[in-house]
Amino acid sequence: MTQTNEHCNAAETLQGAGLSQTTQRMAVLEIIIKADGPLSAADILNRTDPKQKINKVTIYRILSSFKERRIIRELPTDQGMNLYEMACRHNPIHPHFYCKTCRIMSCLPPLTLSQAMDWFAGSNAFRIDDVHVNLSGVCRRCRE
């Protein structure tokens, strides 16, 4: 499964989120929109125009503001880094598969967990070693 973000427009997305259209924000957002899977901050840096290299701090700050405004989703890995993907209406929440060897994270169909597990049990596309399901937010005690 590849991401289906072709419909997302960088300029409109920024405007809709109330963010000004700076060169750097546009560049980062377009890289994420064009990606065929979740990217790390380093991946994004590598894909920026070499003639106008964006500082890595700027990339982290842009990712942070995009995440805050729910333009993108942040996907933690057990390799000590986060990956990012579009969170637009064309790309609903879905499971991912992370290959420990090539370190590429691929998107899976937006099935329920049980459906996904059944599907995988019947396929031999991947060897599944770990399953992580994590919800995050604020617990009742912290909301009071």
Residues within the interface to a second copy (CB under 8 A)? 73-78, 80, 82, 93-102, 104-106, 108, 112-114, 116, 120, 124-143
Residue 56 found at the interface with DNA (CB under 7 A): yes
**Of 51 and 133, CB closest to a second copy:** 133
In degrees to the nearest 10, what's the CA dihedral of 63, 67, 69, 70? Answer: 130
φ, ψ at 85 (rounded to 5°) = -140, 160
What is the phi/psi pair of residue 106, to 5°? -115, 155
Pick out residues in 94-133 that bind DNA (CB under 7 A): none
Task: Tell the smallest beta-carbon distance from residue 77 to DNA (Å).
Answer: 8
Judged by CB under 7 A, the residue of 7, 12, 70, 81 near DNA is: 81
40 binds DNA (CB under 7 A): yes
